[in-house]
Structure 1
Amino acid sequence: MDTCTVRKTECADIVDISGEPYCICVLKQGYCLAEPDGSFRADGTISLLTGPKRILVDTGGPWDRDFLLSKLKDKGLTPADVTLVVCTHGHSDHVGNLGLFPSATVVVGCDISQGDRYLPNHLAEGQPYPIDDHVSIIPTPGHTGRDVSVLVKGGTMGTVLVAGDLFECCNDEDSWKELSENPEVQEVSRQTALRMADVIIPGHGPVFKVFRTPKTNLTEKS
């Protein structure tokens, strides 16, 4: 049962979130734009965590290859410097550049691999997969059956969730349901995320902050 009310505030100007020991940079802000012919143009958010490990969350579509290489170079990095790549789910605008990182540990949904060696984990059973004391991969199913998000503690803005398409954007209202394989399950994942995170990086829009206000329960004595 909810014990607080939640409101969200878009922060379009935030691309860097400092923290200890991890800093987060939004290398590319995702988008989703409807076209007059009924199609839509979309690309996923690409985020980079730098700290004890260098972690890339989602790789954009294959059309982002040169963009991603350029952004890593701006950070003084090459693909070989990235130790972990997490793709929140298997859609093409999130996994399009996995081939750039053959030496990294790769997470796609609930699969974790090092080369052709797949590692045991319990993400599909609803359990988190800790990377270290500050970063963990958590299951957030609904958009697809095995979506995951990356939870980062120790940021100056509080706990950050790099959420993939758990949230399309700050004010996605009910529009996310049209893209969801299981809206009921995704709603549970969304509410859990809103209770645990202070900042959310969505799959197709600007960073937003989460504000929680405790509810007051008034009971009358007879």
Structure 2
Amino acid sequence: MSDATNRQSAADATSITRLEFDIEWPPKHAAAYLIETSDPILVDAGNPGDRGEQAVRTELAAQGYDPSDVGAVIVTHPHSDHIGQLPLFREAGATVYAPEPVLERLERDPDELAAGVREVGRSAGYQGEAIEREVERAQSSLERNRRLLAPDEAVGFAFDESVSVAGLEFEPIHTPGHQLHHVSLATTIDNQRVLFSGDALIEPFRPGTIHVGIDHGAYEAVDAFHEGLDRLAKRSFDHVFPGHGPVFSNADETIEFTRSELEALTADTLEAVTAVGPATPMEITRRRVGEVRYPAQLLDTLGALGTLDRRGRVHCTERDGVRRYSFEKAAP
């Protein structure tokens, strides 16, 4: 009998252990969580590569586990810092679970993705080679995520329908905005209502409105984020286990903080439009943040512009596929 089995047979309570991984981009770390039941469950799976594998093996060993002890891995969203070590666990015998729409989207035609990136990239102000770089980036990400998550080998589940994973019941809550088909996972452990929030709800900062990346739907990201927060606000949680930042218990406060940060983004974007419009989303982003160093900075702008347009606060014109936004004065 392994050390892990001995520990579990002797344990009266379920514990949740945080596994942490270094990543190259802000916030420089990502978290996964080991639910230590008789058939251990991992929520998310860290970043890819040798460093990610070494980290997960070291973190598990510190708790007396090996990858082969993990019975299931459940995925909150298909970003590389959350699905990176799925091949390791799949090969060790774990069953991988993910939202059905995530698995379906991983099967999309790369040419269809390229068309969406070109159209939306052009609308945002990308030109020539810059658009093709974004197409290459998007197709490369699709290929990588398809390899890591392997949709044909995963078990899909629906949003808002209870799913049983290794004997533990989860409520999958659709929380888009950071990622189109992001799921937050609510469950009860030791009479405590807990939420594994992935990147939908983080206490120290607002997650980026990445949603779909540069693709059809990018201008809907901020509104989608609000919709996800609405779903979380209808529920009560004792503890929240996020994909970045510390574990926290003040879920209601963090929901309101995230809402206020989204509104601040929208207000900053309107201020930038007022200052430089008519302007492309890229020009508005430069006004808002200065040098554009990360795609997430532009994606925040696209989501905010979509919200402002639907609220009637900006006016959008399009010529040769390029969008330009200007301030829309309120009617007297």
In the TM superposition, 1:156-195 aligns within 5 A as: 158-167=192-201, 169-172=202-205, 175-181=206-212, 182-194=221-233, 195=235
Name the residue aligned to 2:243.
203
Distance 1:129 1:97 in 2: 22
User: Residues 139-189 of structure 1: CA distance to partner in whole angstroms, max 9, x if unpaired?
Assistant: 323122221223231336x2111111111x2142xx335434433233232
Q: Secondary structure at the match of 1:64?
A: helix
1:54 aligns with 2:40: yes
1:145 aligns with 2:145: no
User: Contact (CA 8 Å) 2:41, 2:71: kept in 1 or not?
Assistant: yes
1:131 aligns with 2:159: no
Change (3 A) 1:133 1:184: farther
1:104 aligns with 2:138: no
Which protein is richer in helix relative to its size? 2
Q: Secondary structure at the match of 2:203?
A: coil
In the TM superposition, 1:8-27 aligns within 5 A as: 21-27=13-19
> Gapped runs of 5+ residues in structure 2?
1-10, 105-148, 213-220, 254-332
State the identity as a percent.
25
Distance 2:80 2:55 in 1: 16
Which protein is richer in strand relative to its size? 1
Distance 1:20 1:190 in 2: 34
User: Contact (CA 8 Å) 1:43, 1:61: kept in 2 or not?
Assistant: no
Name the residue aligned to 1:6.
none
Q: Number of matched residues?
A: 183
Q: Secondary structure at the match of 2:250?
A: strand
User: Contact (CA 8 Å) 1:30, 1:46: kept in 2 or not?
Assistant: no
> Gapped runs of 5+ residues in structure 1?
1-18, 34-39, 214-222
The range that moved more, 60-69 or 127-136, is: 127-136
User: Residues 89-137 of structure 1: CA distance to partner in whole angstroms, max 9, x if unpaired?
Assistant: 11111111111112111023434999955546323xx433233775315
User: Contact (CA 8 Å) 1:106, 1:114: kept in 2 or not?
Assistant: no
Change (3 A) 1:29 1:100: closer
User: Contact (CA 8 Å) 1:140, 1:186: kept in 2 or not?
Assistant: no
User: Contact (CA 8 Å) 1:137, 1:148: kept in 2 or not?
Assistant: no
Distance 2:73 2:81 in 1: 14
Distance 2:31 2:156 in 1: 27
Tell me by how many angstroms 1:29 deviates.
7.1
Name the residue aligned to 1:71.
59
User: Contact (CA 8 Å) 1:161, 1:193: kept in 2 or not?
Assistant: no
Change (3 A) 1:21 1:196: same
Name the residue aligned to 1:90.
78
- Rg comparison, structure with higher value: 2
Amino acid corresponding to residue 237 of structure 2 in structure 1: A
TM-score normalised per structure 1: 0.68
TM-score normalised per structure 2: 0.48
Change (3 A) 1:92 1:177: closer
Amino acid corresponding to residue 193 of structure 1 in structure 2: L
Distance 2:24 2:99 in 1: 21
Tell me by how many angstroms 1:20 deviates.
6.4
Amino acid corresponding to residue 122 of structure 1 in structure 2: A
